Amino acid sequence: MGDNTIKRCEWLSDDPLYIKYHDEEWGVPQYDSLRLFEMLCLEGQQAGLSWLTVLKKRENYRQVFHGFDPYKISNFTKTELLELKKNSSIIRHEGKIQAIFENSLCYLQLVREGTDFSDFIWSFVGKKPIVNYWVQNKDIPKETSTSKALAKALKEKGFKFLESKTCYAFMQACGLVNDHIVSCICRQTLQESTID
C-alpha cells in the first residue's frame, strides 16, 4: 500500500484510484440527494463484483446515465435501455441497468410525494453519522438492523438491487456510518470534520 508508515483500512488494495476514493470519499457524510442517488445506484451495480470494478467504470456510468439525473434517466426508452446492455464501458447486466431506470422513477415518486431523498436516507441514522470503533476489518459487520430497515423501506418504495448488505455498503460509503478502523489515517480527520 505504498508508504508503510501510513495506516489505512485493511480492505484497501494498492490501486491508486481505490486509495484516492478511500482517502477522499469513503465515509465522508454525503447529504446531496442526487449524489446519494448516484451512490445507491452504483452500489446496486456492485452485486457479485468488487467495488473497484464499479469504481473504475463510474465515469462511464455518469456519462451514459446523464450524471445520474433521475429526471433524464426516467425518459429513457426501452430501446435506449436495451442499447445500454451492449455498452462495454459499463456492466452489461440487463437487470442492473433496468434497476437504475426503475430507481429513477422511484426517486421521482418520492419527490412528488414531497419527500426529500436525503432526508429520507438520513432519517435511518437519526440525521447524523453513526461512529463505530472497529480495530480490524474482520470486526466490521456486513449488515446491521439499520441497513435491513433501509433495504426494506427502499424495497417498499420500489427500488431494485438494494439488499441489506448493499445498503450497508452504501451507508459506509456515504458516511451514514464511520467504519474506518481506529488506526486508519482518515479516521481522525473525518471525525474532526464532522464535529458539530
Which residues fall in the annotated binding site for Zn(2+)? 9, 22, 180, 184
> Which residues contribute to the annotated binding site?
9, 22, 180, 184
Instruction: Considering the candidates 21, 31, 102, 163, report the single residue annotated as catalytic.
Output: 21
Helices and strands in the chain: count of H runs, count of E runs: 10, 2
Instruction: Considering the candidates 10, 25, 51, 163, report the single residue annotated as catalytic.
Output: 51
127: left (phi over 0), alpha (psi -120 to 50) or beta: left
Q: Which phi and psi angles does 120 have, rounded to 5°?
A: -60, -50
Active-site annotation holds for 94: no
Q: Alpha-carbon distance 49 to 74, whole Å?
A: 26
Q: At residue 167, what is the residue type?
A: C
Active-site annotation holds for 51: yes
Active-site annotation holds for 26: no
143 neighbors 168 (Cβ within 8 angstroms): yes
Q: Alpha-carbon distance 115 to 45, whole Å?
A: 25
Q: Alpha-carbon distance 75 to 88, whole Å?
A: 22
Instruction: Considering the candidates 38, 43, 61, 122, report the single residue annotated as catalytic.
Output: 43
> Active-site positions?
21, 43, 51
